[in-house]
Structures are given as structure tokens and as C-alpha cells.
Amino acid sequence: MLWPQDSAAYLGGFEEQDGYRVPMNGQITSGYFPGDAQFYLNNNPANGYTGVVPLGAYPNTLGDGTNGPDVTRYNAGQYGTNNGGLGGGAADIPDNSGLWQALAGGRLYEDASAPYYYGSQYDRNQIVAYRNTMPHSGSQTLNLMASDQNLSYLYTMDSRDFGGISPASTAGLQVQMSFWVKPTDWDDPDTGNIFGLSLLDSANHSMFEVGYTGDNHLQYRMTGGAWITTTYVIGSLGWSEITVTLDTLDNTASLGVSAYNDSTSLLAGNSSVLSNQSLGVVSGAFTRLQWDLRGGTLNNGAVSYINSFDDFNFSVAPVPEPGCVTLLLLAAALLRAPRRRK
């Protein structure tokens, strides 16, 4: 009971077997399906397929073999065999009816002008799986783009994320989340907050938030507080690891980072940014993640294009009570003590 349970799925590494898809030379790797139930105004599947949409609509992945459909348009994270998945394949769903939901901007902004869109590939607003030439591992990453508008997306955790443990059962437990990130350098002129990832409880309250500025300084903020900008800089030329430990029994959070240095091309060792910092609120079960990316008119012509994420890992463990810790240490000492021969 005291050992953490590790998992890497549903979010995972955003590979096909994690339940995320990208086109291959304009085609879908897991096969065609009639598509995008809500994107087309006349709701006619004959108009195309999710991921290969009419030339006049964006996101247009016809001819873009690296860019997948928006994660709210298909059963993203709900198929594949990694981490105990049931297999299956990608399927069209009514928009926002899966694990991913667009709350503001992003795809909702794109859809406002569908099926006609006159922007370029640099004007996309969405969250997609992407066949990255330099992923942290595997071949795909999760890419966030908010060129024209702020975007806000919600991801609902599943028991597959937590290695079989229901997210609703994580109240009173310690949950550790780690992930790898490579921010864009297109938004460097803007030194304000650009990205935030909120850990939400079952009441949809933010318990803790981690993010970074346009010039890639790691940030965090507590419930109801302002962004705290740290001295740690996350390089844009390589992958950095961020680790958040949430203790929903003692209502504390810890934050660590291994930052990639663009100047030396080296990944630094893990540094503790926060250790058992009081949340200031009574936390509930960890059930959702909210992704917020600032777009639109940024300072000095900066653009939120492209922020990449990879390899999410979670571990869930009970929080030993002080008395339990004492008993464990005593038991360990007795086991190490030499036995007297008869």
C-alpha cells in the first residue's frame, strides 16, 4: 500500500497507442472514419473526415502530414493499448464530449468562421497531437497553438492515467505528476505569463498552477494568488522536466524542475523550487487539468506558436501518518538487526 503506482497513458506520450492520432501523408494512420460531427454547419459526414477537412477550413491537415485534428474532435486518449488500454481506434465524436473540452478560444474560435478560414498555418488555434521531428521520446508530442486568441482547454483525468486508481479516490493521497516541455521562442519578447497548467479538484477548483512566461521563466501560483516568477529558465531548444507533487491530505504542493540550458545544450539536474508549500485551501480529489495559453496580440509582436509537451507520468501513493512512519522505521531497524544464534 505504501509503494507508489506509476503510469504513463491517456496523456502519456501522445502516441497512437496512447490514443492520439496524426495524419500520415495526408491520411489517417488508424484508418478513415466519417467525421467531425459538429464542425460542419450542415453536419454532413460527406464533407470530409476529421483530420482531413475541406481546403477552406482550418485546422486543415490535408497535405500537412504532421498535424493531427484538434483533441476535442475525436476520442483522444480513449483508445490504444498502452498502460492497460482496451485497444480500438480513433472515432468521431460530438465535439467536447470526450476527455478533452475546449472552454474558450482555440477550436471554438476556429469554428466561428468554418467552413471558410482565410488564415495561414501560423494562425491556428488548437491543441493537437503532432509528429515531431525532435520529440522527447517516441514520435509524437502534444502541441498548443494560440496565434489569434487565448485558448483554454479542460482534460478530465481517467483511472488509466493513475494506473487503475479512480481520480475520484485521490482525496487524501499524494499524487505526483511529471511531464516534459519545450516552449516556443516566438513569444520571447513578452515577459508576462504565457502558459498555465492548473490542477483542479473534484469541485473544479484550482489547487495549484504551474506555468511559464513568454521568455520561458518557470512560474507557479497558489489558489487566488498572483503568478510567482522564478529564476529558472526553461530552454526552447531542448526538453525540460517539471514535477509537481500534490499532497491532498496535508494540503501542500511541491515543485521541481530539470531545466534545459540553451547556451550549454545540457539538461540540469533536478532543482527543488517549492517543498511542501501550503495550498491555503482544503484540497479535494485531483480530477482535471486545465490548459491555458495566452494568444492574440502579445507584447512586441510575439506569437504563441508552438508550445510542445511530452511524456506525462503520474504516481499515486498513500500519505503515511507520523505514527505509521515511526512503525516503519522501527520495523526496518529490527529487520537489519543481527540475529542471536541459539
Helix ranges (H only) for 70-211 are: 107-111
Do the domain assignments include residue 72?
no
Q: Identify residue 186 by its one-letter amino acid code.
A: W
Spatial CA neighbour of 219 closest among 261, 250, 259, 266 = 259
pLDDT of residue 150: 93
Measured CA to CA, the distance from residue 93 to residue 99 in angstroms comes to 11
* pLDDT, position 117: 55
pLDDT reported for residue 70: 85
pLDDT at 69: 80
Provide the pLDDT for residue 173. Answer: 94
Q: Write out the residue range of the structural domain in which residue 261 sits.
A: 5-14+99-104+118-336
Q: Are strands 67-70 and 206-213 parallel, antiparallel or unpaired?
A: unpaired
**Helix/strand/coil (H/E/C) assignment for every residue in 176-223:** EEEEEEECCCCCCCCCCEEEEEEEEECCCCEEEEEEEECCCEEEEEEC
Helices (H), the chain: 107-111, 322-336
C-alpha grid cell for residue 63?
497535405
Asked if 66 and 46 count as a contact pair (C-beta separation under 8 A), the reply is no
Which tens digits make up the pLDDT trace of 96-120?
889 999 999 888 887 766 555 556 6
Taking alpha carbons only, the member of 162, 194, 186 closest to residue 289 is 162
Q: Number of folded domains in the chain? A: 1
Report the chain's mean pLDDT, rounded to a whole number. 81
> What is the mean pLDDT of each successive set of 10 residues along the chain, which is 342 residues long?
44 92 57 47 44 43 66 89 87 83 87 61 82 93 91 94 92 96 93 96 94 97 94 97 96 97 97 96 94 88 88 90 47 44 40
Q: Where are the beta strands (DSSP E) in 18-82?
A: 23-24, 27-28, 67-70
Long-range CB pairs of 40-46 (<8 Å, 24+ gap) are: 40/114, 40/115, 41/114, 41/115, 45/92
Q: Take residue 84 and report the three cell numbers written for it.
A: 492497460
Listed residue (174, 193, 159, 136) closest to 251, CA to CA = 174
Residue 1: per-residue pLDDT: 34
CATH number for 269: 2.60.120.200
Q: Is residue 19 part of a domain?
A: no
Tell me if 173 is assigned to some domain: yes
Structural domain includes residue 235:
yes
Residues 6+ apart with CB under 8 A from 226: none
Q: Per the domain annotation, does 246 fall within a domain?
A: yes
Looking at residue 328, its pLDDT comes to 39
Residue 278 in domain: yes
pLDDT value for 114 = 59
Is 209 a domain residue? yes
CA distance 60 to 49: 11
Q: Which residues contact 332 (CB under 8 A, 6 or more apart)?
A: none
Q: Flag whether 220 is in a domain.
A: yes
**Whether the Cβ atoms of residue 128 and residue 70 lie closer than 8 Å to each other:** yes
User: What is the b/e burial string over 174-206, where b = at least 16 CB atoms within 10 angstroms of the residue's CB?
Assistant: bbbbbbbbbbbebbbebbebbbbbbbbbeeeeb
List 153's β-bridge partners, or say none.
Answer: 102, 291
**Rounded CA gap, 29 and 174, in Å?**
37
d(CA 245, CA 302): 32
Give the tens place of pLDDT for each residue, 152-188: 999 999 999 998 899 999 999 999 999 999 999 989 9
Res 330: pLDDT = 45
